[in-house]
Amino acid sequence: MILAAGRGERMRPLTDRCPKPLLEVQGKPLIVHHLEALACAGIESVVINLSWLGEQIRQTLGDGSAFGVHIHYSDEPVALETAGGIVKALDLLDDEFIVINGDVYTDFDFAQLRTLDAQACLVLVPNPIHHPCGDFALRDGLLVNDGDELFTFSGIAAYRKSFFIDVPAGRSALAPLLRQGADEGVISARLYEGAWSDVGTPARLRALNGA
């Protein structure tokens, strides 16, 4: 599942008329980088949630065949935040599934997340300049909330449907679920030190494009 429903407030004015996942990095939309990487990892079916300017995404990507995947769309009249968007789309997803923020750029190999050994598995990255304090620690392969060294959640993870079993329909954030799962020891994690960027501001987009 690629999360693509957000408004992209920090990217304004670029996102006033273009949804953030369609902003181009190195000659192609962010979301296309994800679709091509998922296809390379052997993943054939992708769910994309839509809200802000979502019709532009649907028109650009179509059924996904041009990128080697089949796309299902989950429409949200009002953006439901991360957990809410996932819960709304659960019927379209397999029992184990990968979720990717539509506004990150990375060369991570998604095939590494095709086998789950816990209720969820988060990909962590070294802390970027704009997020120096990090989010989670990594201990013996498990995600923990506190530790000597904290890393940043990349916006890339794999989940089992059962991880969301108690989440009601409607708008809800993902962070509290992750904090609880870390406390309960049911989330594994791995550190990725390759290319990754949260394309959250026009300046970061320009940097990725060498401008």
Which of 77, 78, 86, 41 is closest to 177 using CA atoms?
86
Q: Is the pLDDT of residue 155 over 60?
A: yes
- Report how far residue 208's alpha carbon sits from residue 107's, in angstroms, rounded to the nearest whole number: 13
As a whole number of Å, the CA-based R_g of the chain is 16
pLDDT value at residue 110: 96
pLDDT value at residue 206: 86
pLDDT value at residue 114: 84
Provide the residue range defining the domain that includes 202: 2-208
- Give the list of residues 6+ apart from residue 88 with CB closer than 8 angstroms, or none: 49, 74, 76, 80, 169
- pLDDT higher for 14 or 113? 113
pLDDT value at residue 101: 95
Count of alpha carbons within 13 Å of 144, Cβ hemisphere only? Answer: 11
Distance of CA 153 to the CA centre of its chain: 10
For the chain, the domain total comes to: 1
The structure tokens listed for 148 are 């000597």
pLDDT value at residue 200: 80
pLDDT value at residue 184: 96
- pLDDT higher for 171 or 114? 171
| CATH label of the domain that carries residue 203 | 3.90.550.10
- Report how far residue 38's alpha carbon sits from residue 52's, in angstroms, rounded to the nearest whole number: 23
pLDDT value at residue 211: 56
- pLDDT tens-digit series, residues 1-54: 999 998 767 767 777 888 889 998 988 999 999 999 999 999 999 999 999 888
Average pLDDT score over residue span 51-72: 94
Which of 157, 160, 103, 86 is closest to 125 using CA atoms?
157
State the burial class of residue 97 (Cβ atoms within 10 Å of its Cβ: 0-12, 13-18, 19+).
buried
Average pLDDT score over residue span 178-182: 97
- pLDDT tens-digit series, residues 88-100: 999 999 999 999 9
